[in-house]
Amino acid sequence: MNTLTHGMTSDRYQELRRILEGRREEMAGEVQDKIRLARTEGGQTSTRRVADVTENSGMDIQDDIEFALIQMKAETLTRISAALARLEERTYGYCFECGDEIAKQRLRALPFASRCKGCEEVRENERNRERVLESRSKAVSLFGTPSI
């Protein structure tokens, strides 16, 4: 068994690389398709008759959704590229927080995961707690402090 740095076998390295590159190709294709579609539809919109306000509003919402999807997929591509860089550094597949190996099932589902499930849950709980505290402080500042 050929072992690389950080205890990763060459078989695991090859499997993870294949998963990441496959996901990267899939995402890149989807982003290119969405951009191509947006350009095609954008050209058709300019040649169409002037639509009423409701129709234009619906098209604007659809355009915003399409743009958000493109942004999300592009962000996923960036995360996959970062994961491939970590793979080359032999740090991919290991949690940033605790250093434990990230479960194969998690990496298959979320190949750019940088934390194990437990550490990610802790992080999400902290973020949620921060959001609650932030919304409470905004509510207090909005209504002022209660007088006694």
pLDDT in tens, 42-81: 655 544 455 555 666 667 787 788 888 888 988 999 999 9
What's the confidence (pLDDT) of residue 79? 92
Shared-domain flag, residues 15 and 66? yes
Same domain, 72 and 136: no
At a CB cut-off of 8 Å and minimum separation 6, what does 6 contact? 90, 91, 94
On whether both 50 and 87 belong to a single domain, the answer is yes
Cα gap 7→24, rounded to integer Å: 25
Domain that holds residue 89: 5-115
Based on the domain organization, do 99 and 55 belong to the same domain? yes
Q: How many residues does the chain have?
A: 148
Domains contained in the chain, number: 2
- Residues 46, 67: one domain? yes
pLDDT at 130: 93
Do 87 and 131 lie in one domain? The reply is no
Task: Give the mean pLDDT of the chain.
Answer: 81
Q: Are residues 48 and 105 in the same domain?
A: yes
DSSP label of 115: S
23 and 10 in one domain? yes
pTM given for the model: 0.65
Whole-number pLDDT of residue 52: 56
